[in-house]
């Protein structure tokens, strides 16, 4: 039976959406992206090749799929053309049979990038011009892609054949009962309306944004799946109740390029100290083990224990039908693992995520602790074959998250995926 499935990030982004979207895209016929720009990065591993996409939907690595960049996106033409050329170098012929761009999508111009570099740093943006471009869109002074391709330039010439009216394309695909996958960018907690404002992005990377960013009605979406890591990360500023260590400590570690030469030794030391109870080192180990360094920026991500309050909020805001748990394998080696089940604020426990940033910044996590595991999970394909403590941890997550778990991911490859509820998928 055909479905339209929307995939969203359930935390602060970087949840492993690219891998899950790539996994689901095998059975999709159309893959669309609704919001954001090249501030979001998706990594897809195909055999011995690793692709990093910032604009083009991850489904492009499947040669028989149509990929749509929706009207809700903001597109840097230089970056977009660079991604097309990289794919062409790898043998992917890119025509309007594989990729189309909404003429209503807005264009990031050099002025947007310059403005962002001057003003975006205080809240931890990527300085890619995203916010200024969305600002011009809202005040109705922005440039749409249909206008941009009238220009005479290398980028305009390359993009022009791909620019279409995408509204009928995606709606006719749904009406024809094709499998349609909507690829989310970033995460629920970065939503301009529902996230930790002002430490958010400039669009709606929630399920509602999937509709407005592609021009489809909400009743046309059959399933909404959130990708949620087995722990928590965020980039940039803003409150982070389950954070291990501080944002300043994380920043001082430097980028992946700095870490990479001494990676193995650093990770071994971090694990030893983590198991001695050092909270900062626990977060550092997750960062190293999970390669938690920005696809777009290379910046180290802040890390923390799983936040059940955030997960519950994500279920509510998105109307989730199921959840995919990713990066369970990253926790391997830790002797003790914690789940935040509530916050404490002024001596009282609260279970709902507070909209007030002042309240959130004063919240302390309430934890439950569980035994960890040391066994390698990378070759596990059935839930029952997981180590007992790993199974117990996933079951506890299932109690905390008020939506069924449909997928558990134990590595970056498509094959490193455990299916728990096939009916939620294609």
For the chain, how far is it from start to end, CA to CA, in angstroms? 8
101 closest CA partner among 116, 84, 125, 89: 84
Asked, as a colleague might, if the bond just before 270 is cis with ω within 30 of 0, I would say no
Task: Give 356's contacts (C-beta < 8 A, 6+ positions apart).
Answer: none
From the candidates 22, 42, 116, 307, give the one annotated as an active-site residue: 42
Contact 42, 21 (CB under 8 A): yes
- Nearest-angstrom CA–CA distance, 307 and 405: 16
Question: Active-site residue 42, yes or no?
Answer: yes
The structure tokens listed for 247 are 């944002």
Q: CA-CA distance, 312 to 309, in Å (whole number)?
A: 5
Tokens at residue 71, please?
A: 């009207």
Residue 194 known to be catalytic: no
Q: Show the tokens assigned to 31.
A: 């893959």
Judge contact between 94 and 57, C-beta under 8 A: no
Closest-CA residue to 64 (of 90, 33, 28, 32): 28
Rg of the chain (C-alpha set)? 21
Establish how many alpha carbons lie within 13 A of residue 102's alpha carbon, considering only the half-sphere containing its beta carbon.
Answer: 28
Catalytic residues: 14, 42
């Amino acid at each position: 039976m055909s479905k339209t499935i929307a995939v969203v990030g359930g935390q602060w982004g970087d949840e492993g959406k690219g891998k899950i979207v790539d996994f689901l895209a095998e059975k999709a016929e159309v893959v669309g992206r609704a919001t954001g720009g090249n501030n979001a990065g998706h990594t897809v591993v195909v055999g011995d090749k690793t692709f990093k996409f910032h604009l083009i939907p991850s489904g492009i690595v499947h040669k028989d799929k149509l990929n749509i960049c929706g009207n809700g996106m903001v597109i840097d033409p230089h970056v977009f053309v660079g991604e097309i050329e990289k794919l062409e170098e790898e043998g992917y012929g890119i025509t309007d049979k594989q990729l189309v761009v909404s003429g209503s999508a807005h264009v990031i111009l050099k002025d947007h990038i310059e403005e962002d570099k001057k003003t975006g740093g205080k809240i931890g943006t990527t300085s890619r011009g995203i916010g200024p471009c969305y600002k011009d869109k809202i005040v109705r002074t922005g440039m749409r892609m249909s206008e941009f391709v009238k220009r005479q330039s290398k980028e305009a010439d390359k993009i022009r054949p791909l620019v279409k009216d995408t509204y009928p394309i995606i709606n006719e695909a749904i009406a024809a009962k094709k499998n349609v996958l909507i690829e989310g960018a970033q995460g629920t907690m970065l939503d301009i309306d529902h996230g930790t404002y002002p430490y958010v992005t400039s669009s709606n990377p929630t399920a509602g944004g999937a509709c407005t960013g592609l021009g489809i009605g909400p009743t046309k979406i059959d399933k909404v799946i959130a990708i949620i890591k087995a722990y928590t990360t965020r980039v940039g500023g803003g409150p982070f109740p389950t954070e291990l260590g501080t944002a300043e400590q994380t920043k001082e570690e430097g980028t992946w390029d700095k870490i990479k030469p001494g990676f193995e030794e650093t990770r071994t030391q971090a694990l030893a100290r983590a198991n001695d109870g050092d909270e900062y080192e626990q977060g550092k180990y997750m960062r190293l083990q999970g390669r938690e360094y920005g696809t777009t920026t290379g910046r180290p991500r802040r890390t923390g224990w799983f936040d059940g309050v955030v997960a519950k909020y994500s279920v509510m805001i998105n109307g989730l039908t199921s959840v995919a748990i990713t990066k369970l394998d990253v926790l391997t080696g830790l002797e003790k693992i914690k789940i935040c089940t509530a916050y404490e604020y002024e001596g009282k426990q609260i279970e709902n995520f507070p909209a007030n940033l002042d309240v959130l910044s004063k919240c302390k996590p309430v934890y439950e602790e569980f035994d960890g595991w040391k066994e390698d999970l990378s070759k596990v394909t059935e839930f029952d074959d997981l180590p007992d403590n790993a199974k117990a941890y996933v079951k506890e997550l299932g109690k905390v998250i008020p939506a069924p778990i449909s997928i558990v991911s134990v590595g970056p490859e498509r094959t490193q995926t455990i299916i728990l509820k096939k009916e939620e998928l294609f």
